Each structure stands twice: as C-alpha cells, then as structure tokens.
Structure 1
Amino acid sequence: MTRLPHWAAQSVAAARVVLVLTLLVGLAYPLLMTAAAHVPGLRHSAQGSLVTGADGRTAGSSLIGQSFTDAKGNPIKTYFQSRPSNAGTGYDATASGAGNQGAESVVDTPGKQSLLTQVCARSKAVGELEHVDGSRPYCTAGGVGAVLGITYDGGTSGRVTNAVSLNQACPAKPFLSSYQGVTVTCAKPGADYSATVTVPIRGNAPAHPVVPADAVTASGSGLDPDISPAYAELQAPRVARKRGTSEASIQKLIKKYTTGRALDVLGEPTVNVVELNLALDRTYQNPKQGA
C-alpha cells in the first residue's frame, strides 16, 4: 500500500479536523441551542422578548427601551416617559453606549453641556411637564449648573477678587448677585476661565428632589426599558388626565408592570415603560397630543 507523503497526510488530517469541527460547532451546536431555546417557557426570551401593540403587530422588545416623543423630541403627554438615553439619538440599539461624563463634569464647554447642566435642564423640564418642583442642588432656576469660577489673590486661596458664573454666558443674569462681597458676573463667550477655581453652589433646593434621579440620568447602555416606581408615580396624574381615567386605575397598571428585587434583596424595584405604555393603549383610548 502506497503511503501518502508526510505533507499530504498532514493536509488530510487537517481537513478532517476542519470538517468535524464545522459539523459540531457550526451545525450541531447551533441547532442544539436553537432547540433548547424553544423549550416551553423559554421561547419568548429566545425570540427577543418581542411585545405586541394594541393593533396586534410587533411593537418592540420588552428588553429595549423606546422614546415616547414626537418628531420634535417633545414628550407625548399620553405616555409615560422613559429615562434619558445616550444611545445614538436615543434608544438606538445599534449604538448602545453611555455619555461617559462623571461627577467632575460641571462646567459647560463650547458645543457640549456638562453632566451637571444636563441634569439641571432635564430636572427643570420634568418639573414643568409634571407640574412639580424641578429644582435640584447645584442647579440654577434656569436649568444650568450653578458653578462659579473664583479668582483669589493668593492663587487657590485668600481674598476673592473676581467671581464668574461659568455656565451663564453674557448677557445672562448670574444666578448669584455676589460671592464673599464680590459681584458675580456672567461668563464672556470665548474667554478662558481655566485659571479660576471651580466652586459649585448648592443653593436652597431640597436635599431630596421631587424629580427622581433616573428621570435625569441615562443608563450605562442607553437602552434600559425600566424606570423607578417613584418616576412612574410622578407621571401618573398627567397620564390619567390625558387618558381620561382615574389616577387609581393608572396606579394599578403601574403596579402590574413593576418588578421587585431579585430574590427580594438584589437591586431595586423597576417599572417596564415599554410594556406599561402598550398596556395603556390596550386599555384606554389614546387621544391626540394636547397641552
């Protein structure tokens, strides 16, 4: 019997390995996992946790949030609003991501708001939408970060010689008239205040704001479909009014779509906004956007 050359024998062996691995990993394993995913009780998740609207058509996934806003980005008042999103233009599943701004992001730069100003602006907007107090510590009444740029005669300490409201460009009126006896001025566009000492001003806002934290901050993925029960309850009066029903009936829906802590100890209770809004459409009429 003629023996194959060494190089040919190695090639045949390699081809056999490729064939076996292709059948096992490329065909058998995917088929096995697909079959397992269709076991009763698991199929819903395997299909992407799809949810249907009042018309019976697929309306999205219960695992991916959505923006309930109009073409101009204004909240549709007949729906519960989701938390902010940094995924693309908002809840873009192909561009999942966070804003990557931390606690030290308090001063606005040209073309980019600081995290503090974003939080302040969102809190103000939610307060106006829900007719509640939207004030927060370290925020101005106008919805920007209440931050001063201070110049001292000793560099980083000593007597204050100048004070500028860094996030209020001229001709805006500074949120604070004076600081340690020095008149506070607005920030001149294009001026360099990097040499000043940044001093956030707490103000007299409540320590525990009416507007919950999840209403003004985005999730790490930008796709979180959940909000806190506190944020859902804050929106309940508006939704009930716009849907022409009682607040008590809306509260029942909120409770129905609230998930408790895992094992009763892990995490916090959450409300799935996507499922809750779909339930609204199935249960109540959806009138046109109004004031």
Structure 2
Amino acid sequence: MKMILIPLRASLVLLLLCGVVYPLVTTGIAQVVFPYQANGSLMTQGNTIQGSMLIAQSVDSPKLFHPRASNAKYDPTASAGSNQAVASDTYLADQKVKVEEWRKANPALQTVPADLVTGSGSGLDPDLSPNGALAQIPGISKATGIPEATLTSLVQSTTKGRSLGVFGEPHVNVNELNRSILKLIQ
C-alpha cells in the first residue's frame, strides 16, 4: 500500500504545482507587468490600431489586405484545417469557386496566388506570400486612394525572409500591413 501512496502523493503535489500554482503565478505576473499584452486584443478596422500580430483576423473591408482563408473562422479556440484531400472533387470545386471570386473582385489579376484561396493548417496564419499581398494592391489602392507604389513599398518593407536564411519561404504579416494602412488613412 505504501508503494502506491508515495507516487500518488507525488503526482498530486506535482499536479497542483504545475497545473494550478504555476499558471496562476505566471498569469498574475503577466497581468501586473504587461496587462495590455496579457489580455490580448483584436486589431479593429475602425479607429483603433492595436492588436495581435500573431493570429490572422477576419477582414471585410476592401481597404485592407485579406489574410488566408480560415476554416476556423479566425477563432483561436477552434484552430483547424479543412481536412479535405486535395484531390477530392469537393476540395477542387471549392478552390475553383474561390479563384473565381478573387478574379471577379480583381479583374486585372492574371494569376491568383495559391495562398489567397487555400487555408493554412491552423486556420490562424497571419502571413501571406509576397505575391499574395501584391495581388491585392490594385483593389486596396482603388478603395483607399493610396497610390499602388506606396502600397508596394509597404509590402516590400514588411516582407520577412526565410528564417535563418534557410527555413520557410518569404512572407508578409497581413496584420502588420493593415496596421500600416490604418495609420495612413486615419
């Protein structure tokens, strides 16, 4: 019996320390030291230019860059991919509809970059390829009156290279781009 009680007590103590005490202490410190960041916020499309750069946010305004499609509806508590096979008829039909929607909204767009019509694995990725961002410039320029050259410069200045020069692909944080646009149009 004693051989069972010792590991059981150790497990309960560790459960309380790691599962209750540690999270409460770190949350308390975060609330005191970084209250705004600890609580998080959404970047609005109105007058406020605040919010997370880490999670894609739904964008309805034609004045802002649109992130990748989200199967999670941009809800961080419902992170999910589509789980559709890329060779399935349903997936192919969905992609054709999305491509046509982009072409209809952007008649000058010759080729629709893949990341504008496909979702990320988590559904919360705030990054686009530089081509995905550049493809949106004519529409945003028309909606905001910001010259295309200015928007192109914004995309270029916010483009991040490969991690450590080797890993991943160049990418642009859509939230960062939209924050820059909101500063320009206010």
Structure-1 residue corresponding to 2:56: 65
Within a 5 Å distance, the mapping from 1:1-291 to structure 2 comes to 17=10, 21=14, 24-25=17-18, 26-27=20-21, 31=25, 47=38, 55-56=47-48, 58=50, 60-69=51-60, 76-87=61-72, 90-106=73-89, 114-132=90-108, 210-285=111-186
CA distance in 2 between partners of 1:100 and 1:15 (Å): 40
**Relative CO higher for 1 or 2, CA cutoff 8 Å, sep ≥ 6?**
2
Q: Where in structure 2 are there 5+ consecutive unaligned residues?
A: none
Scaled by the length of structure 2, what TM-score is found?
A: 0.78
Give the superposition deviation at 1:31.
3.6
Q: Do the aligned residues in 2 keep the contact of 1:48 with 1:61 (CA within 8 Å)?
A: no
Question: In 2 relative to 1, CA 33–242 (structure 1 residues): closer, same or farther, beyond 3 Å?
Answer: closer
**Comparing 222-231 and 24-33, the one that deviates more:** 24-33
Q: Specify the SS of the correspondent of 2:172.
A: strand
Partner residue of 1:146? Answer: none
Give the SS at the match of 2:93: helix
Residue deviations 1:105-151, cap 9 Å, x none? 02xxxxxxx110111111111112121356xxxxxxxxxxxxxxxxx
SS at match of 1:222: coil
Indicate the percent of aligned positions where both proteins have the same amino acid: 36
Task: Say if 2:115 and 2:129, in contact at 8 Å, map to a contact too.
Answer: yes
Q: How many residues align?
A: 181
TM-score normalised according to structure 1 size:
0.52
Q: Residue 30 of structure 1: CA displacement?
A: 6.0
Report the Cα offset of residue 220 of structure 1: 0.8
> Which segments of 5 or more consecutive residues in structure 1 lack a partner in the other structure?
1-5, 70-75, 107-113, 135-209, 286-291
Alpha-carbon separation, structure 2, partners of 1:92 and 1:121: 23
Q: SS at the partner of 1:263?
A: coil
CA distance in structure 1 between the partners assigned to 2:91 and 2:17 by the alignment: 50
**Deviation at 1:267?**
0.4
Question: Which of the two has greater strand per residue?
Answer: 1
Q: What RMSD in Å do the two structures reach over aligned CA positions?
A: 3.4
Which structure shows the bigger proportion of residues in helix conformation?
2
- Quick one: structure 1 residues 259 and 48, their matched pair in 2 at CA, closer, same or farther if it must change by over 3 Å? farther
Contact 1:50–1:62 (8 Å) recurs in 2: no
Per-residue CA deviation, residues 153-181 of structure 1 (Å, 9 max, x unaligned), is: xxxxxxxxxxxxxxxxxxxxxxxxxxxxx
**Higher Rg:** 1
Equivalent-residue separation in structure 2 for 1:120 and 1:240 (angstroms)? 26
